[in-house]
Amino acid sequence: MLFDLLSGFDSYNMGSWSSFPLRLSFLFVLILVSTLFYSTSSLLDEIYAKGAAVSWSVFKTSNGMNLSGFPLVVSSLFIFLMSVNMMGLVPFSFSVTSHLSLGPNLAFLMWGSLWVSGHRVSPNQNLTSLVPSFAPMFLVPFLLLVEIVTISSRPITLGFRLMINIIAGHLILSMGTNVNSLIFLKGVLLNLSGPFYGAVYFSLFAWMGLMAAELAVGLIQAFIFCSLLSLYTNDHAN
């Protein structure tokens, strides 16, 4: 049912004419991005190197550096989410992060691993963190319930934040494709009249800007996902 509701907004369900501006704008944006990383190494190597550097800098303000293997896991997760989000923007491809099969499940797995790790290190410290310091005894059961609900909602909000933001970008691309294709085709078919050249250029540049914005959103969402995971390590037992 979920696939049926969301599959209509995937780019591979569009017609060949309606997706043509999308494919062309994706090619232009890819060329522009490749010029930013122009060096002796390949574009993919530069993206992975910069992604690892950005993800590693997240742990400077958290306790994640004290957890063995956690920085490497989150850095790999950042590169994975960044790659999946970028591949989801390729026309006629399947966007994995816009479905329930990845985002919420991955968030619950990472959050649950941190919770189990903290309970394994120090069960008493892990459980006492659920109750605020100097809380009155008669409020302890209520505060404990509120804290459990709050902590349990972290993986839900983390996973759905990633999924909803990616879906929103794909919805904008899908709904605007038909309008943009009409403008593009009208400009191509009536290009003999002169003024319609502006419609063609406006259509292409508008989609280039939108594709660049969606590419930035995919990178930012991967960074937010990993930075929130690193902030959750502040509650980890020492």
Domain total in the chain? 1
In terms of residue numbers, what domain contains 78?
62-235
Mean of pLDDT values over 12-28: 52
Query: What's the pLDDT tens digit per position in 162-182?
Result: 888 888 877 777 776 666 666
Query: What's the pLDDT tens digit per position in 183-193?
Result: 665 655 555 45
Number of helices (H) and strands (E) in the chain: give both, helices first. 8, 0
Q: Is residue 187 part of a domain?
A: yes
Q: What pLDDT, on a 0 to 100 scale, did the predictor assign at position 57?
A: 67
Q: Is residue 171 part of a domain?
A: yes
Q: Is residue 200 part of a domain?
A: yes
Mean pLDDT of all residues belonging to the chain: 71
CB 79 within 8 A of CB 56: no
Q: Is residue 207 part of a domain?
A: yes
DSSP 102: T
CB 122 within 8 A of CB 238: yes
Q: Is residue 9 part of a domain?
A: no
Q: Is residue 143 part of a domain?
A: yes
Q: Kindly report the pTM of this predicted structure.
A: 0.72
Q: What pLDDT, on a 0 to 100 scale, did the predictor assign at position 7?
A: 55
CB 12 within 8 A of CB 6: no
For the cut 60, the answer to whether the pLDDT of residue 230 exceeds it is yes
Q: Is residue 45 part of a domain?
A: no
CA dihedral sign, ordered 40, 43, 45, 50: positive
Q: Is residue 113 part of a domain?
A: yes
